[in-house]
């Protein structure tokens, strides 16, 4: 199983590098920026939309976007295995995936036509 | 590489999918509120055409490595689901059209759920069974909460959702263990595995899987969501839930037990026995004290679900296909009776503006046609000859006698006692309809019934009378379902 | 690595999720607990699949992931609807229907 763990070594290196970079960027920012606290800076959305209470610090209106994002994000799960095998699946696979994506897009068109994407 | 796909085999599914897309587009780009409904009805009838051509062809077709099989069993049930779906559409047209919440999505969701049902009749693999079950239930979560400003409808939807998702998770955990033990998701391989010596973990896996199904078919003690959801949901949706969606659960249960777990009888028989006995007894006792007709029918459908479980529970000791046939015949007849009963409830509620049983007093004098059909459905549910319900009970008891073991006979006795209890509350409603004085201040006259609703009630009454007098018709369907194609 | 370690992890996650569904009152937290249960199932399936070299377990997991997303989407919509009507995400306040 040592081969197994060796493969994870690269993951560990990546995590280390990420932590280092994260710390360096934030640390550099802290050293360079001026520090003038104002109460407005501590509200969730500085742009001005007020979070509606009870749900923690999130605006209910973002829910539709989150939902649409998750739907399309998760559908990608089916596209990855297809993309890997695209050559062997050929034209048949291409048409199959086209049908899948068209039906999905129809969902987005539906949301759009029903005015879900408009900021209310 | 072009995989060979037999498109004829799943032509019903393709037609229905195209219909769903067409309804969605029609709803988006036209203002004609009748068009989506018309396309939906046409599409459901259109899906019946390939079912008939496949039946004439009569060949058993196995696709996707045995995960999707078209055989007589799946064709009989696909036909049943499509007809049940069509009748639900008939019930919904005016109910949805007249409400404040008209939206074309209703038909899209209903048809999507229907698509899951016709897939489940052919599913022969854990993955396809799971995907089909979820395709059935997820749209119904939304349908149950259709009246979105009504907090009761919200609550119905929430309870149904929580229980539905929880049961899926439990079922999936069981299925994942089954997969780990049998090293396959195809039921045929699980059948082979169960024929050998199985560890105790397999019994746990089967138990968890069956518990998930028990939620889906609202068997006691996993039934508590049903009455609340049925009461809160719009009545046509309740009809759909109590018939089609419940039948979908039973079909999946039948398939998974018959083709998968069957050889390991000790792991599934006791569970189904307890579920059957508890569902019949508690369902009927609770139905006795209901004052709301929808809640009464909810508990009655729990009890009827118990009756459907009886042949399944004794199937291990029945030779041949008699037990499976009993389940299929019971599902077909139950579908006709319950759809009819809910159609009558909708028709009566249009006049009385209430679902309270007391408000139905004297209904027979003012609206004799509806009351006659209502009584037919209720007496059929009670199992009184010559209405179709007696034949359903008959095949169930025949399966019990064929099994002829002590446990089977005890279950048969419980079923017999329950049939008597059930007669009381069904006949109580009929007595109200015909013999009680109309309550003061109840305005019973109103405009004519919509055509769809009358057609649905007439059709179901006809089915119940014909099958009751000439039961060979459904008996033959039951035999065909288990013939080798 | 042993198969058992994965199975124990999955069982633990599943039980945590089940406890969360039964004990939590906030709708969003209940949904998160359900996700936990479904992911426990995914761990089971992928672990079995990796150890037996049978790929159908992984396919099963992919389907569970997508369907879980659909379920949670619908669930969130229902919780939101209740929040709009009752102005509270507390599920114990939803109790008009009794039987």
What pLDDT, in 10s, does the model give residues A23-70? 999 999 988 888 887 777 777 666 666 655 555 555 566 777 777 888
**Contacts with C86 from chain A: Cβ below 8 Å:** none
Q: How many helices (H) and strands (E) does chain B have?
A: 20, 2
Query: Which residues have C-beta within 8 Å of that of residue C10, sequence separation ≥ 6?
Result: B176, C40, C41, C43, C44, C47
pLDDT of residue C84: 77
DSSP character string of B350-411 = HHHS--BGGGGTTHHHH-HHHHHHHHHHHHHHHT-TTSHHHHHHHHHHHHHHHH-SHHHHHH
- pLDDT (average), residues A81-100: 86
Q: Going from the N-terminus, what domains does chain C have, and what CATH number goes with each?
A: 3-87 (1.10.287.3510)
pLDDT band at C99 (very low <50, low <70, confident <90, very high): very low
Radius of gyration of chain A (CA): 23
pLDDT of residue B485: 47
3-state helix vs strand vs coil in chain B, percent to 5: 80, 0, 20
Nearest 5°: CA angle at B453, between B449 and B459?
Answer: 125
Considering CB atoms only, which of A55, A70, A74 is closest to C89? A55
pLDDT of residue B250: 92
Chain C touched by B221 (CB under 8 Å): no
Residue B356 has φ and ψ, to the nearest 5°, of: -75, 135
Among the listed residues B181, B172, B189, the one whose alpha carbon sits nearest the alpha carbon of residue B65: B189
pLDDT of residue B24: 87
CA distance C16 to chain A (A): 22
- Burial zone of A3 (CB within 10 Å; 0-12 exposed, 13-18 middle, 19+ buried): exposed
Chain B touched by A4 (CB under 8 Å): no
**Contacts with A54 from chain C: Cβ below 8 Å:** 83, 87-89
Please answer yes or no on whether B169 and C34 come within 8 Å at the CB atom: yes
For chain A, domain boundaries: 58-120
DSSP state of A50: P
Query: Which residues have C-beta within 8 Å of that of residue A40, sequence separation ≥ 6?
Result: A46
Please answer yes or no on whether C80 and A74 come within 8 Å at the CB atom: no
Res A17 pLDDT > 90? yes
Write out the two tokens for A45: 């959305």
Question: Which residue has 């539905």 as its token pair?
Answer: B164
DSSP state of A43: S
Query: Which residues have C-beta within 8 Å of that of residue B302, sequence separation ≥ 6?
Result: B218, B219, B220, B223, B226, B279, B282, B283, B286, B287
Name the residue with higher pLDDT: C28 or B375.
B375
Measured distance CA(B128)–CA(B130) in Å, rounded: 5
Res C98 pLDDT > 60? no
Please answer yes or no on whether C37 and B159 come within 8 Å at the CB atom: no
Helix or strand holding residue C20 (H, E): helix C3-23
Query: What superfamily in CATH does domain A58-120 come from?
Result: NADH:ubiquinone/plastoquinone oxidoreductase, chain 3 (1.20.58.1610)
Please answer yes or no on whether B25 and A106 come within 8 Å at the CB atom: yes
**What is the distance of C-alpha B232 from the center of its chain?**
18
Q: Could you report the predicted ipTM of this complex, rounded to two decimals?
A: 0.91
Please answer yes or no on whether B2 and A109 come within 8 Å at the CB atom: no
- pLDDT (average), residues B102-119: 86
pLDDT digits (tens, 9 = 90+) for B241-298: 898 888 999 999 999 998 888 888 788 888 889 899 999 999 889 888 888 888 888 9
Most B CBs within 10 Å: which of A71, A110, A112, as the mutation test of the B interface? Answer: A110
Query: Which residues have C-beta within 8 Å of that of residue C75, sequence separation ≥ 6?
Result: B141, B161, B165, C27, C31, C34
pLDDT digits (tens, 9 = 90+) for B274-284: 899 999 999 88
Please answer yes or no on whether C73 and A54 come within 8 Å at the CB atom: no
- pLDDT (average), residues B154-160: 84
Of the listed ranges A15-24, B71-80, B169-178, B434-443, the one predicted with least confidence: B434-443
CA nearest to C40 within chain B: B173
Q: Using an 8 Å Cβ cutoff, are B229 and B144 in contact?
A: yes
The overall pTM is greater than 0.90? no
Res C43 pLDDT > 90? yes
Q: pLDDT averaged over chain B? A: 84
**Contacts with A89 from chain B: Cβ below 8 Å:** 1
Res B19 pLDDT > 60? yes
- pLDDT (average), residues B145-154: 79
pLDDT of residue B95: 73
pLDDT of residue A23: 93
Classify A119 in phi/psi space as left (phi over 0), alpha (psi -120 to 50) or beta.
beta
Of the listed ranges B61-65, B187-191, B199-203, C42-46, the one predicted with least confidence: B61-65
Write out the two tokens for B427: 């006949």
Helix or strand holding residue A58 (H, E): none
Q: Using an 8 Å Cβ cutoff, are B309 and B411 in contact?
A: no
Measured distance CA(B93)–CA(B87) in Å, rounded: 10
């Amino acid at each position: 199983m040592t081969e197994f763990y060796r493969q994870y070594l690269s993951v560990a290196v990546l995590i280390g590098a990420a932590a280092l970079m994260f710390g360096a960027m934030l640390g550099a920012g802290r050293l360079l920026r001026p520090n003038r606290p104002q109460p407005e800076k501590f509200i969730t959305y500085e742009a001005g939309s007020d979070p509606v209470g009870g749900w923690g610090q999130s605006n209910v209106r973002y829910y539709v976007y989150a939902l649409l994002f998750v739907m399309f994000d998760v559908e990608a799960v089916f596209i990855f295995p297809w993309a890997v095998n695209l050559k062997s699946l050929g034209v048949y696979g291409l048409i199959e995936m086209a049908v899948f994506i068209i039906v999905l897009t129809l969902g987005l068109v539906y949301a759009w036509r029903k005015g879900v994407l408009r900021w209310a | 590489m072009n995989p060979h796909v037999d498109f004829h085999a799943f032509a019903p599914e393709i037609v229905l999918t195209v219909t769903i897309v067409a309804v969605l587009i029609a709803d988006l780009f036209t203002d004609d509120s009748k068009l989506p409904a018309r396309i939906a009805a046409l599409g459901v009838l259109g899906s019946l055409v390939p079912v008939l051509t496949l039946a004439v062809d009569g060949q058993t077709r196995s696709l996707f490595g045995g995960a999707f099989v078209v055989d007589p069993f799946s064709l009989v049930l696909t036909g049943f689901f499509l007809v049940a779906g069509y009748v639900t559409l008939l019930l919904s047209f005016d109910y949805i059209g007249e409400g404040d919440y008209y939206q074309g999505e209703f038909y899209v969701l209903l048809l999507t759920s229907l698509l899951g049902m016709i897939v489940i009749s052919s599913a022969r693999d854990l993955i396809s069974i799971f995907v089909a079950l979820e395709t059935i239930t997820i749209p119904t979560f939304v349908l149950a909460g259709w009246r979105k400003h009504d907090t009761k409808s919200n609550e119905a939807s929430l309870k149904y959702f929580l229980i539905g998702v929880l049961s899926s998770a439990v079922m999936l955990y069981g299925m994942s263990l089954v997969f780990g033990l049998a090293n396959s998701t195809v039921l045929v391989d699980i059948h082979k595995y169960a024929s050998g010596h199985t560890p105790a973990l397999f019994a746990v896996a089967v138990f968890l899987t069956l518990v998930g199904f028990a939620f889906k078919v609202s068997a006691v003690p996993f039934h508590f969501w049903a009455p609340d959801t049925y009461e809160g949901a719009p009545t046509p949706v309740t009809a759909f839930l109590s018939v089609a969606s419940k039948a979908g659960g039973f079909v999946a249960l039948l398939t998974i037990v018959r083709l998968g777990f069957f050889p390991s009888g000790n792991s599934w028989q006791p569970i189904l026995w307890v579920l059957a006995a508890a569902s019949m007894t508690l369902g009927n006792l609770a139905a006795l004290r209901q004052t709301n007709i929808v809640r009464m029918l909810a508990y009655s459908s729990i009890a009827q679900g118990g009756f459907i479980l009886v042949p399944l529970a004794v199937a291990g000791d029945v030779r041949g296909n008699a037990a499976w046939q009993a389940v299929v015949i019971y599902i077909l007849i139950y579908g006709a009776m319950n759809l009819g009963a809910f159609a009558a409830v909708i028709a009566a509620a249009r006049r009385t503006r209430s679902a309270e049983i007391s408000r139905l007093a004297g209904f027979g004098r003012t609206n004799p046609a509806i009351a006659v059909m209502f009584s037919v459905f209720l007496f059929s549910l009670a199992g009184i000859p010559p209405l179709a319900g007696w034949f359903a009970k008959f095949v169930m008891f025949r399966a019990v006698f064929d099994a002829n073991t002590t446990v089977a006979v005890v279950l048969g006795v419980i079923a017999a006692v329950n049939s008597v209890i059930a007669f009381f509350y069904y006949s109580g409603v009929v007595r109200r309809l015909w013999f009680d004085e109309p309550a003061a201040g109840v305005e019973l006259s109103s405009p004519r019934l919509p055509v769809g609703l009358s057609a649905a009630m007439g059709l179901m009454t006809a089915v119940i009378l014909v099958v009751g007098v000439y039961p060979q018709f459904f008996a033959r369907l039951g035999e065909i379902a288990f013939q080798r194609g | 690595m042993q198969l058992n370690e994965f199975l124990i992890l999955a069982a633990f996650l599943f039980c945590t999720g089940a406890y969360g569904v039964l004990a939590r009152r906030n709708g969003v937290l209940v949904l998160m607990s359900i996700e936990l249960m479904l992911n426990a199932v995914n761990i089971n399936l992928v672990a079995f699949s990796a150890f037996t070299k049978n790929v159908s377990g992984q396919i099963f997991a992919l389907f569970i992931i997508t369907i879980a997303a659909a379920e949670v989407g619908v669930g969130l919509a229902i919780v939101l609807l209740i929040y709009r009507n009752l102005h509270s995400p507390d599920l114990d306040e939803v109790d008009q229907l009794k039987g």
